[in-house]
A and B are shown apart, each in its own frame.
Chain A
Amino acid sequence: MNAETAPHAVEIAGLSKWFKDFQVLKNIDLTVAHGERLVICGPSGSGKSTLIRCINGLELHQAGRVVVEGVELTDDIAQVEAVRRDVGMVFQQFNLFPHLSVLDNCTLAPMWVKKVPRAQAEKAAMEFLERVHIPEQASKFPGQLSGGQQQRVAIARALCMNPRIMLFDEPTSALDPEMIKEVLETMVELAETGMTMMVVTHEMGFARTVANRVAFMDHGEIVEIAPPEVFFNNPKSDRTKEFLAQIIH
């Protein structure tokens, strides 16, 4: 199936995953529409990271189906690599390549994976660095940047592959408060472009204003999933209420 005609950006059905005997994900069903912005929250260890890492094949699932833009993740490495080209990911720890300049961090994958000529890759990279408001840092190395700047480079680096879906795994959790804002603003701007986004975060302000739906995970299950108005004002499950009471003081 072709990505243009795929009915959903992400389609997850009956997804289960175990680490040894421990079941991290329990029979998860979830569909994400094109252009949808889904925020996932839940207590530590509930399986949020594992769930979004299953979407680009960083974790392999043992049961169920994961279909991304019409391509199912299987044992076929070509299929997995096709999905990875369509899915960008931003990590809690930034994971920039410290031995490469900011610009080289951004051009590496387009040049080696998509075989884009260097000049063209650099031009595109500069455009994305401008979009995340740090074009002047292009020639620096990651170690010379603040945490917030590094995370924005990481976002630009992912965008340079022109992904159709962006995954964020607690992108602001490793940042000082004053830097959280600049990264969230960048993500809001990205949301305004119509990008499909799945964001694991505890920034409830972001969830309220940007998300189309918010999902609450606990013990490897999606306990509740609803639009933010409903999710925050009128949660159905007691577990959700408990969790919200804890993080919104």
Chain B
Amino acid sequence: MAPTARQTTRPPVERIGPIEWLRENLFSTPFNAALSVIAMAIIYILVVPTFRWAFIDAVWAGDSRDACLAVNTGACWPFIENRIGQILYGFYDEAERWRANLTLFLLAAGILWLTMPGMRGKPLVAVLLLTVFPLIAYVLLTGGFGLEIVPTYRWGGLLLTLVIAVTGIVLSLPLGILLALGRRSDLPAVRIASVLFIEFWRGVPLVTVLFMASYMLPLFLPQGMSADKLLRALIAVALFNSAYMAEVVRGGLQAMPKGQTEAATALGLGYWQTHALIILPQALRLAIPNIVSTFIGIFKDTTLVSIIGFFDLLGMIQAGTSDAHWSTPSTAFTGYLFAGAIFWIFCFSMSRYSRHMERVLSAGERR
């Protein structure tokens, strides 16, 4: 079909200068103008000193607290530099840290492969990432097969944060989906079991769950039977978050019109086929913003493992700030700023990627 002149006509493009942009967007009414001024003032008051403190007045070199003791100095970056090994790996033996690097490299490569547009073989990579990778990661990180054993109590820092967050995220989604389906099941036993499970975990704080998993569970287990403390914490985090995930997924399922199930059923598709091919792809897409919020929550909640004696990223930094060798007025702030920045990078990336996914998935099928 040849495009007619009418179809190719575009709305006139309005070129506006920066002054006009300001007037239209920030100062369109007196009220908006007032809000804009107040907002800019707040940004100025907060950002400028922080920036000065973190970069301009900061100390960048040194090997002890003395470097950061001068009056009016900003952030004490040598502290971070000095501690970076522990911040990233905890007490993971220095000679073995390549194993952690390799694991994280494989994970990052897999995730990049899956998230970059236009890469081939995504289904295969996804399957490998969910099946083979956990085994490789387990052997690499814990040892065995000729590798020296590194007990889990030595793991820490960003490495530990990522181990907990990734297992929590990867396990909670499928478990949550099953629980959400269970809660809507026609079979009373399945439904009641799902409701009890979900409401139990949603009713207790994660801190309590972690305490129970690490200190009380061993008391109940029969003699001679013991599970690694980190493993117990991982299971606790996964079960706890799967309950929240179940409710998020259920929200998506409830938004699905009944006609979708009926059409699939009328075509002869069974329960699992209907859900796997028709209902879940749509319901999960609807739930993406909430699913990713839950992922971000899982990531941030990893910091709670410090109360059962693990040193995650934040715990490691906190431990460092109380080191007398580095105690200066700015050490703690520097540490928290650094921890905050790392958390922010991870969480913000997840959030941006979810927006991107929403756009890609909704392209072409909008009404």
Residues of A within 8 A of B (CB): 56-58, 81, 84-85, 87-89, 91, 93, 95-99, 108-109, 112-113, 141-144, 154, 157-158, 161
Contact = CB atoms under 8 A, between A and B. Distances in A.
Interface residues of B, number: 22
A111 to B, nearest CB: 10
B259 A143 contact: no
B268 A84 contact: yes
Nearest to B265: A58
A57 B267 CA distance: 11
A240 B267 CA distance: 34
B269 A113 contact: yes
B267 A143 contact: no
A14 B291 CA distance: 50
A144 B367 CA distance: 6
A168 B161 CA distance: 57
Interface in B348-367: 364-367
Interface of B: 257, 259-260, 262-270, 273, 277-278, 281-282, 285, 364-367
Nearest to B259: A95
A143 B264 CA distance: 18
Given A99-B282, A108-B277, A112-B277, A143 B266 contact: no
The 9 closest A-B CB pairs, nearest first, are A95-B263, A109-B267, A95-B259, A89-B266, A141-B365, A113-B268, A84-B268, A143-B367, A85-B268
A161 B264 CA distance: 12
Given A58-B262, A91-B263, A97 B269 contact: no
Contacts of A58: 262, 265-266
A57 B367 CA distance: 31
Contacts of A81: 268, 270
B273 A112 contact: yes
A141 B367 CA distance: 9
Given A58-B266, A96-B263, A112-B269, 9 more contacts: A56-B266, A84-B267, A89-B266, A91-B259, A97-B264, A141-B365, A142-B365, A143-B364, A144-B364
A154 B365 CA distance: 16
22 contacts: A56-B266, A58-B262, A81-B270, A84-B265, A84-B267, A88-B266, A93-B257, A95-B263, A96-B263, A97-B263, A97-B278, A99-B282, A109-B269, A112-B269, A113-B267, A113-B268, A113-B269, A143-B364, A143-B365, A143-B366, A144-B365, A154-B263
Contacts, number: 68
B367 to A, nearest CB: 4
Given A93-B259, A97-B260, A158 B267 contact: yes
A39 to B, nearest CB: 20
B367 A161 contact: no
B63 to A, nearest CB: 58
A56 B277 CA distance: 21
A161 B263 contact: no
Contacts of B278: 97
B334 to A, nearest CB: 48
Determine which residue in A81, A87, A112, A141 has the highest number of CB atoms from chain B within 10 A of its CB, and name it: A112
A142 B278 CA distance: 14
A141 B268 contact: no
A161 B268 contact: yes
A208 B156 CA distance: 79
B109 to A, nearest CB: 29
Contacts of B260: 95, 97
B259 A161 contact: no
Nearest to A110: B267
Contacts of A84: 265-268
A84 B269 CA distance: 9
A58 B364 CA distance: 31
A58 B258 CA distance: 11
A141 B262 contact: no
Contacts of A98: 282, 365, 367
B258 to A, nearest CB: 9
